[in-house]
Amino acid sequence: WDDLIVGAPYQYSNTTVGGHRRHGAVFIFLNRQSYFYTPVDEVSDVELFSYNYPETFQIITPPSHNCGNSHIPGFGATITKLGDINHDGFQDNIYYLFLHLIIMKLDFAVGAPYEDNGGAVYIYHGSKSGKLQKPTQVRCVYLF
């Protein structure tokens, strides 16, 4: 399987806006060995999903930006692949899915449809390591 990107638009976040905890996250699972380390077993006491390897797992939460911030932006509601938009040799990705999708080391966009009453798109560029920091761009929509 390829790397996996999962959108969780209602996930609690550690960041706050105006005293309110923000919601939304994107989980990124980098496939280094072509399998999950912990077995999945719906019958036993093993957690259904456990992935505790920091070098292959990352959580992205909605960053603050100049567009205005909502405490329930829906960050992660959509994810889509972009192609190699910055010509660095890594395919840039964005996926239109609600709650899950695939692929990393690629440029991709994350949608937050309820951000500041108009929505926002966060663009991330893939990297050799697969680790991401902040979005390279935040595009905001203002409704009149």
Q: What is the pLDDT of residues 18-61, one digit of tens each?
A: 666 667 888 887 666 555 555 444 545 544 444 555 556 677 87
Instruction: Give CA–CA dist 122/134, Å, rounded.
Output: 9
Whether the per-residue pLDDT at 3 is higher than 60: the answer is: yes
Q: Is the dihedral of CA 90, 141, 113, 133 positive or negative?
A: positive
17-26, 49-58, 66-75, 125-134: the lowest-pLDDT one: 49-58
Place of tokens 């937050």: 112
Phi first, then psi: give them for residue 106, nearest 5 degrees.
-125, 160
- What is the reported pTM? 0.69
Phi first, then psi: give them for residue 85, nearest 5 degrees.
-75, -20
Q: Is the dihedral of CA 42, 3, 99, 95 positive or negative?
A: negative
Instruction: Give CA–CA dist 98/58, Å, rounded.
Output: 19
Q: Helical H runs in 57-122?
A: none
